């Protein structure tokens, strides 16, 4: 279900619609403001969404719509911040920096297309036809790039343009295979051990929800061949990835490029208060979304993974509801 906070955001919604139409995914369209028509949005989420697997919320300015939707459901909510003012940074931060218990996967500013692609990846977790179509689409990107390259050459290449010769070099041979426990559903990855506190929050929350996960450290820049080999080793086994990364977050982008399964990203504070990590993680190009959480939001990353898995796993759904209800209890007033 695509919900717009304002009818004026229809052009952003159109990007999502185009993807869903191409992927043959059924969808609904609603317009409801989190502030001006709160009862309307509450009614839509509670009473009109039994058939819905994923929500896409499109909103600018304060952009509270995704959070309000997430507060009324345990299904995955994808936020698309709109460039209404401040170049959309206000909406972006409002969408990512959610409270514990109401996780929202945020896309780049105005990236309605990536919201739809992530929705397809989530649906594909339990739909092999959609999964295969995503793989086919990804394979088609190379042909599009070749067409774009030929076009660029025809437009700007001058008399000194010279095509470099192709010389085949053997790839790095990596004998070690990444092996996970057979019941592992979520693979957590980070580029170093500096974010162990956040990783611990993720694993602890997943353990509480009885979701089997494993954690590995690997660098996308120091050992890119090893990362590629490891993702190939386990991609048919795990259902989704959680990536914890700081600085330019090359790791999350690299993993997104190697899989069509959902990748949940947790940007971490380091330099410039973590804004570098957040922006480089969330502002992905079309077709390769990262489900970006708030800064250091390890627990919400785990809860978002649970929301995805709970679509088709009743045991996780029950555990998630129980966990969420426990968060809502206020010990000061009991």
129 labelled binding-site residue:
no
% of the chain exceeding 90 in pLDDT = 90
Tokens 């353990």, located at residue: 207
Return the closest-CA partner of residue 294 out of 265, 273, 318, 320.
Answer: 265
329 vs 286, higher pLDDT: 286
What tens digit of pLDDT does each residue of 111-151 get?
999 999 999 999 999 999 999 999 999 999 999 999 999 99
Mean pLDDT of 276-284: 95
Mean pLDDT of 5-28: 97
pLDDT at residue 326, rounded to an integer:
87
The pTM of the full predicted model, rounded to 2 decimals, is 0.95
Given a cut of 60, whether residue 333 has pLDDT beyond it is no
**In contact, 101 and 303? CB cutoff 8 Å:** yes
40 labelled binding-site residue:
no
Given a cut of 80, whether residue 42 has pLDDT beyond it is yes
Instruction: Work out the pLDDT band at 330, boundaries 50, 70, 90.
Output: low
Render 105-151 in DSSP notation, one character per residue: EE--TT-HHHHHHHHHHHHHTT-HHHHHHHHHHHHHHHHHHHHHHHH
* Statement: 2-124 belongs to CATH 3.40.50.1970: yes
2-124 and 186-314 have identical folds? yes
Q: What is the fold of 186-314? A: Rossmann fold (3.40.50)
pLDDT at residue 331, rounded to an integer:
44
138 labelled binding-site residue:
no
Edge-to-edge order in the sheet of strand 186-190? 29-31, 2-4, 55-60, 77-82, 105-106, 291-292, 263-267, 240-245, 186-190, 213-217
**In contact, 25 and 16? CB cutoff 8 Å:** no
222 labelled binding-site residue:
yes
What tens digit of pLDDT does each residue of 182-199 get?
999 999 999 999 999 999
Would you call 234 helix, strand, or coil by DSSP? helix
Domain chopping of the chain, boundaries? 2-124, 186-314
What whole-number distance in Å separates Cα of residue 213 and Cα of residue 240? 10
What tens digit of pLDDT does each residue of 224-250 get?
999 999 999 999 999 999 999 988 889
Given a cut of 90, whether residue 171 has pLDDT beyond it is no
What whole-number distance in Å separates Cα of residue 105 and Cα of residue 263? 10
Write the burial class of residue 164 (CB in 10 Å: 0-12 exposed, 13-18 middle, 19+ buried): exposed
């Amino acid at each position: 279900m695509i919900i717009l906070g304002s009818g004026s955001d229809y052009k952003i919604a159109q990007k999502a619609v185009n993807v869903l139409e191409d992927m043959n995914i059924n969808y609904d369209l609603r317009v409801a403001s989190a502030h001006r028509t709160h009862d309307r949005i509450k009614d839509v989420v509670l009473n009109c969404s039994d058939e819905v697997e994923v929500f896409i919320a499109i909103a600018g300015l304060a952009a509270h719509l995704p959070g309000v939707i997430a507060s009324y459901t345990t299904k995955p909510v994808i936020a698309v911040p709109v460039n209404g003012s401040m170049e959309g940074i206000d909406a972006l931060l409002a969408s990512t920096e959610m409270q514990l218990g109401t996780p929202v996967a945020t896309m780049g500013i105005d990236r309605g297309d990536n919201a739809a692609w992530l929705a397809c990846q989530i649906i594909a977790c339990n739909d092999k036809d959609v999964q295969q179509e995503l793989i086919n689409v990804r394979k088609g990107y190379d042909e599009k790039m070749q067409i774009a390259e030929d076009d660029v050459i025809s437009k700007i290449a001058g008399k000194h343009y010279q095509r470099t010769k192709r010389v085949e070099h053997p790839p790095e041979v990596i004998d070690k295979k990444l092996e996970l426990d057979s019941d592992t559903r979520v693979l957590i990855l980070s580029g170093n051990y500096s974010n162990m506190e956040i990783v611990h929050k993720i694993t602890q929350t997943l353990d509480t929800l009885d979701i089997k996960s494993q954690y590995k450290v690997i660098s996308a820049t120091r050992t890119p061949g090893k990362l590629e080999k490891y993702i190939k080793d386990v991609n048919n086994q795990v259902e989704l990835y959680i990536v914890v990364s700081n600085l330019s977050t090359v790791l999350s982008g690299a993993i997104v490029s190697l899989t069509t399964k959902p990748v949940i990203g947790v940007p971490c504070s380091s330099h410039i208060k973590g804004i570098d990590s957040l922006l480089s993680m969330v502002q992905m190009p079309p077709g390769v979304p990262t489900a970006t959480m708030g800064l250091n939001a390890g627990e919400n990353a785990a809860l978002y993974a649970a929301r995805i898995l709970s679509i088709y796993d009743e045991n996780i759904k029950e555990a998630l509801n129980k966990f969420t209800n426990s968060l809502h209890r206020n010990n000061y007033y009991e």
